[in-house]
A and B are shown apart, each in its own frame.
Chain A
Amino acid sequence: MNFFRKKSVAYITLDAQDIAAESRRLWADLQFALEGHKEITQVTLKIFDEGDIPLKLVSVIVSMALKLKDESVRCEFVGTPRVVQMLRRLNMASAFAQLTEAN
């Protein structure tokens, strides 16, 4: 996992290892990464994977986006066109403040 912060925006990039990780561990890692950054107003989550992503990962990122939304923090998702398209088709887009397709 790659995490860095620029002013009030946090950037999180998940790599192949995170994608394959157990949900519980990934969730704990994300919580740990965002812990203590109360002044953050936006989180940009990036997944660059050519293939498909497992539902357990989708569950974690959508849950995180919903949690952030409840805390009034915008969550932007950046992923491959195929993954973004699937999130839209399966009605999960509303969890995110913005979905961005990136190759």
Chain B
Amino acid sequence: MEINLKEIRESFITTTHDLLQRSEAIALEMERATSAEHFTELLRAIHTLKGNAGIFELDQVIRLCHAFETYLENLRQSGVALTSNQIDVALTVIDRLGRLVAVMDDREQAAKIGIEDTLTLMAGKSSTVAPAAHASAGSFDKLRANTKKIKLPEKYLADAQGKNRYLIFIVFDLGDQGDLTIQELHRQLLPLHKVGELLSLGVLRRESDTSNPAGPFLPYFLVLSSTERAEALIARLGLKVLLFHYFWEPTMATVEMPDKERSAIHVKETHLKVHLELLNSLIDITGEIVLTRNALVRRVDVQHDQALAAFTKKLSYLVTDLQDKVMKTRLQALDVLFHRFPRLIRETAQQTQKQAELFIEGGDIEIDKAIIDEIADPLVHILRNAVDHGLESSTERLALGKSAKGSVYLRARSREGNIVITVADDGKGLDLDHIRKTAIAKGLIAREKAAAATPAEIADYLFLPGLSTKSEVTTISGRGVGMDVVRTNISKLGGSVEITGEQGKGSTVVIVIPQTLSILTCLHVDISGFRCVIPRQNIVEVVTIDAGRLKNIQNKEVYELRERLLPLVDTGELLELKDEEKTASYIVVVRTEKYHFGLKIHAVFDTEEVVVKSIPQYGQDRQVFSGAAIMGDGQVAPILDAALIGKQAQLQSNAVEKLEMRKVKEIGASLQYLLFRIYDRKFAFRMVSQPRIESIAPDKIETVVDRQVVHYRNEVIPILSMAFVQTASTDAPPLTNLIILQGDGRRYGLLASEILDILTDTLALRREKTDRAEIEGYAILEEDTVIVLNIEELMRVTRGEAASLPTGGAA
């Protein structure tokens, strides 16, 4: 049998990545509470890795795993809870194993990385005989925290940045270097000029300890600007190092992420087994196919050739399916990004001498890989800020009646084609007065403007370039170059970021980003002769304007729509395209995470899948476009961003929205159901928005590949699978009513025999555990049993994402 070494290698890398990721998670859990199971699981993972490494003769990995096993065994036998110091050692070993595996094919590089310092670290920290007074975990933690806060001269930082070098701070115990002599130490420091510059050295006087009768502790520091990483330098020095910090890493210029994490991501990419460039070109080609398809559909529409039209429909469906699948190849679960954050929070908390815990939700949500790469940086920044700026010290928290340990929440959820990521903390919140004063003092905002600003506008000052409310510059924050970069990066993705907070009650940062880039389904509209598109994921419905329903409340135009007052935005006026001769005929009702309003427009054309291109961020003050779309006819149309328009029109703070909310409350919490019949059975579903209902000729429905679709307004819409509904007889009448529904950023059709009514009621639903997931429950209505459908589940089943298993009981 032929052994495929390449496959074994890939499998080894993937398995190692998973084992190390799990090991890191266990190590972090052990810091909270250490149990025998933790040791067993961690030892098993490391033992498996050691065995696997044997296949490839990775000697360093094997030796390091072996030493780590011994280290863990000793700790387990000691029976005491692990100190923060010991967790640091474990994490260092796990990181090193990851780096060694990442360069497994480059023995020279692996040798350069080395393991000696890590072995020394373990030997030093696991020793049961206290080597000196400083060996206590508490004093080590204090030393680590204090040295992280040291302010190095700015010229050192400038020098490292200018030369693109690491700025490293190394600390070792002068009295714990074996038989090394003073001249030998001097000699060992001399070759450092080959890899950089020794900027400073000396005794860390403030950290020395002469009070312990067991002996003095004299920490000694080196500050180096180096082309090599600290690990390699330490191996070169041959010293028994206590700790080291990076005050600057070349990678910080773009992404503040250590190499070890980059290498971990690299391992994940390899797992895709397709080179990313190939995937990107596949996306580009698909974009071109979509454009060509759109152009073809337009041509065929005017040809009136039935046979050609039939082929085009099938082609159209296949292209949509292809595009859908290609986009999915780039989707990755947010966990890929989130799994590294518990450690980030831990390290930031250590640096700032605070206690913090991270709670994560929604890591299973999938998002385009390109977006994951882009949001990594902003999220790192926001999370670090949450600990550094947001949380109070343990003492302060206890004095305020809070728990000593602060909480940071990272939540992701999917909503209307967008991903909403929230970072919240239970810290001190936003001191709006301080933010206002700082913005004025730094000349970032005029005093008069700041005086009249609303709380939301003041909170928004945090995104101004150069605004930092921190008086000291540390390695974490204070330079004021953070939040504006966060907003710029998120804006580039067509997303938005907002911050809110109340003094003493924590702050919340909400990021809204599209789930995927590249291709969007948009509604093509005309505003005073100007063509632009609105992403369909934001559109609730389009209504024809009935002049009698237009109202003016407090100088704001609103539209009375089904007993609700909808705030209106005059899009022509907003875009400075006001044409007195033309009057808007339609309202496009849009909804975003924050706003729900109507856009007045002059004409509505078709929906179209468009290829999205970025446009320069001109006129930031009046920014209402998130990009440009290349249309089927080759023309370019800007994409209207509903969130930006909502913000421009200041809808959040106006009285109309409050009025609308009051109206909503008056209507009460009752739900609306659409009641319809399929053959002889009554069905209903909860209406989130008003569905469109059309009559459909049976010949418009066709089966393509393995599913039913309907061709509707130049779009091929999948029909929700209702295969579980049995017809009463074989000659049952055809289903001629098409209910157009929207979900997950696309449209679906639901076929019905007859539309019966819209109910505004709270139905008492009954459900059995064995019922299909697509059925939300049963209700009795006018002595008839009505099956209430779960539309979201039906959509999932139609997409082929879920088996129709019961949701309540065991499968």
**Interface check A91, CB cutoff 8 A:** yes
Contact, CB under 8 Å: A55 / B185: yes
Q: A66 at interface (Cβ–Cβ under 8 A)?
A: yes
Given known A-B contacts A23-B215, A86-B183, A90-B182, A55 and B202 have beta carbons under 8 A apart: no
Nearest A residue to B174, CB-CB: A59
Q: Which has the most chain A C-beta neighbours within 10 Å: B175, B200, B208?
A: B175
Interface mask (B208-238 → A, CB under 8 Å = 1, otherwise 0)? 1010011111100000000000000000000
- For residues 131 through 174 of chain B, which have their beta carbon under 8 Å from a beta carbon of chain A? 132, 173-174
Contact of A55 among B182, B210, B217 (CB under 8 A): B182
B229 to chain A, nearest CB (A): 24
* In the complex, residue of chain A having the shortest beta-carbon distance to the beta carbon of B189: A90
Decide yes or no whether B184 CB sits under 8 A from chain A.
yes
Give the number of chain A interface residues (Cβ < 8 Å). Answer: 28
Quick one: CB contact mask for A78-100 with B, threshold 8 Å, 1 for yes?
00001100110111100100000
Find the residue from B179, B181, B200, B201 having the highest chain A CB count within 10 A. B181
Known: A23-B175, A56-B175, A59-B174. A90 touches B186 (CB 8 A): yes
- With A24-B214, A27-B216, A95-B203 already in contact, the answer to whether A52 and B182 are too (CB < 8 A) is yes
With a cutoff of 8 Å between Cβ atoms, the chain B residues found around residue A28 in the complex are: 213
Q: Are B218 and A63 in contact (CB under 8 A)?
A: yes
A28 to chain B, nearest CB (A): 7
A83 near B214 with CB under 8 A, answer: no
Candidates B175, B203, B214; contact of A92 at CB < 8 Å: B203
- Closest beta carbon of chain A to B237's beta carbon, Å: 13
Other-chain residue from A59, A70, A89, A90 in contact with B216 (beta carbon distance below 8 A): A59
Number of A-B contacts (CB under 8 A): 80
- B201-A54 in contact (CB<8A): no
CB-CB under 8 A from B310, the residues of chain A are none
Taking a contact as CB atoms closer than 8 A, the residue among A31, A58, A90 that contacts B202 in the complex is: A90
Contact residues in B for A82 (Cβ distance below 8 Å):
183
Nearest neighbor of A92 in chain B, beta-carbon distance = B203
Flag whether A5 is at the interface (Cβ < 8 A): no
Task: Given A58-B182, A59-B174, A66-B208, answer yes or no on A31-B203 (Cβ-Cβ < 8 Å).
Answer: no
Say which residue of A52, A62, A89 sits within 8 Å of B218 (CB atoms).
A62
The reply on A67 being an interface residue by CB < 8 A is yes
With beta carbons under 8 angstroms apart, the residue of B174, B201, B208, B213 that contacts A58 is B174
Distance of B139 from chain A, by nearest CB (Å): 15
Q: Which of B325-383 contact A (CB under 8 A)?
A: none
Residues of chain A with a CB closer than 8 A to B203's CB = 62, 66, 91-92, 95
- Give the residues in chain A near B185, CB-CB below 8 Å: 55, 90
B-contact 0/1 string along A8-31, CB 8 Å cutoff: 000000000000000110011001
- Which residues does chain A contribute within 8 Å of B176, judged by CB atoms? 56
Give the CA-CA distance A23 to B173 in the complex, in Å.
13
Contact of A33 with B by CB under 8 A: no
Shortest beta-carbon distance from B352 to chain A in Å: 29
Evaluate contact between A54 and B218: CB separation under 8 angstroms: no
The answer to whether B216 touches A60 (Cβ under 8 A) is yes
User: Contacts A59-B175, A64-B210, A66-B210: A53 and B182 contacting too (C-beta < 8 A)?
Assistant: yes
Q: Which residue of B lies closest to A63 (CB)?
A: B216
Complex CA–CA separation, A83 to B201 (angstroms): 17
Cβ distance B200 to chain A, nearest Cβ, rounded Å: 8
- Inter-subunit contact B218/A90 (CB<8 Å): no
B582 at the interface (CB under 8 A from A): no
Residues of A within 8 A of B217 (CB): 63
A89 to B180, CA, bound (A): 17
Residues in B whose Cβ lies below 8 Å from that of A92: 202-203
In the docked arrangement, what's the CA distance between A31 and B212, Å?
A: 11
> Is B177 an interface residue when CB atoms closer than 8 A count as contact?
yes
CA distance A3 to B655 in the complex (A): 88
Whether A91 contacts B201 in the complex (CB less than 8 A), given A53-B181, A55-B182, A59-B174, comes out as yes
The answer on a CB contact under 8 Å between B182 and A87 is yes
CA–CA, A23 to B216, complex, Å?
A: 8
Inter-chain contact A55/B213, CB cutoff 8 Å: no
How far is A27 from B216 in the complex, measured between Cα atoms in Å?
A: 7
Residues of A within 8 Å of B183, CB to CB, are 52, 82, 86
Give Cα A62–Cα B203 distance, bound, in whole angstroms: 9
Is B700 part of the contact surface with A, judged by Cβ < 8 Å? no
B175 contacts A91, C-beta separation under 8 Å? no
Query: In the assembly, what is the distance between CA of A95 and CA of B218, in Å?
Result: 12
For A62, the chain B residues whose CB sits under 8 A away are: 174, 203, 218
CA distance A64 to B211 in the complex (A): 11
- Contact call A60/B201, Cβ cutoff below 8 A: no
Q: Which residue of B lies closest to A28 (CB)?
A: B213
Cβ-defined partner of B213 (8 Å) among A31, A87, A89:
A31
Chain B residue numbers with a CB within 8 Å of A66 are: 203, 205, 208, 210
A96 to B217, CA, bound (A): 17
A27-B205 in contact (CB<8A): no
Instruction: Tell me the bound Cα distance from A70 to B216 in angstroms.
Output: 14
Write out the residue numbers on chain B whose beta carbons fall within 8 Å of the beta carbon of A86. Answer: 182-183, 186
- In the complex, chain A residues whose CB is within 8 Å of the CB of B174: 55-56, 58-59, 62
Residues from chain A with a CB closer than 8 A to the CB of B186 are 86, 89-90
Within 8 A of B (CB), among A28-67: 28, 31, 52-56, 58-60, 62-64, 66-67
- What separation, in Å, do the CA atoms of A86 and B185 have in the docked complex? 9
Q: How far is the CA of A67 from the CA of B213 in the complex (A)?
A: 13
Neighbouring A residues of B202 by C-beta, 8 Å: 90-92
> Closest CB-CB distance, A63 to chain B, in whole Å?
3
**Which chain B positions have C-beta within 8 A of A89?**
186
Question: Please, which residue of chain A has its CB at the minimum distance from the CB of B177?
Answer: A55
With A and B bound together, what is the CA distance between A23 and B218 in angstroms?
Answer: 12
Which of the residues A27, A52, A95 comes within 8 Å of B181, measured between beta carbons?
Answer: A52
Chain A contacts for B210, CB-based, 8 A: 63-64, 66-67, 70
CB <8 Å contact, B218 and A59:
yes
Q: How far is the CB of B27 from chain A (nearest CB, A)?
A: 32
For A67, what are the chain B residues with a Cβ–Cβ distance below 8 Å? 210, 216
Which residues of chain A come closer than 8 Å to B216, judged between CB atoms? 23, 27, 59-60, 63-64, 67
A53 to B183, CA, bound (A): 8
How far does the alpha carbon of A7 sit from the alpha carbon of B208 in the complex, in Å?
Answer: 30
Most chain A CB inside 10 Å of its own CB: which residue of B183, B200, B203: B203
Known: A66-B208, A67-B210, A90-B201. A56 touches B182 (CB 8 A): no
Give chain A residues whose Cβ lies under 8 Å from the Cβ of B180.
54-55
Measured between beta carbons, the chain B residues less than 8 angstroms from A90 are 182, 185-186, 201-202
Q: Which residue of B lies closest to A91 (CB)?
A: B202
Pair A63/B208 contact, Cβ less than 8 Å: yes
> Does B184 contact A52, Cβ atoms closer than 8 Å?
yes
- In the bound assembly, the distance between CA atoms of A62 and B175 in angstroms comes to 10
Minimum C-beta distance from B109 to chain A (A) = 32
The interface centre, meaning the residue of A60, A63, A66, A92 with most chain B CB atoms within 10 A of its CB, is A63
Determine the chain B residues whose CB is within 8 A of the CB of A63 once the complex forms.
175, 208, 210, 216-218
CA distance A56 to B177 in the complex (A): 7
CB distance from B307 to the nearest CB of A (A): 89
A86 vs B205: C-alpha distance in the bound complex, in angstroms? 18
Closest chain B residue, CB of each to CB of A25: B215
Using Cβ atoms and an 8 Å threshold, which residues of chain B touch A54?
179-182
Other A-B pairs beyond A56-B176, A66-B210, 11, CB < 8 Å: A52-B181, A52-B184, A55-B177, A55-B180, A55-B181, A59-B175, A63-B218, A67-B216, A82-B183, A87-B182, A90-B186
Q: List 21 A-B contacts (CB under 8 A).
A: A23-B175, A31-B213, A52-B183, A53-B182, A54-B179, A54-B181, A55-B182, A56-B176, A59-B173, A59-B216, A60-B175, A60-B215, A60-B216, A64-B210, A66-B210, A82-B183, A86-B186, A87-B182, A90-B185, A91-B200, A91-B203
The 6 tightest CB contacts between A and B, nearest first, are A59-B175, A63-B216, A91-B202, A52-B181, A67-B210, A59-B174
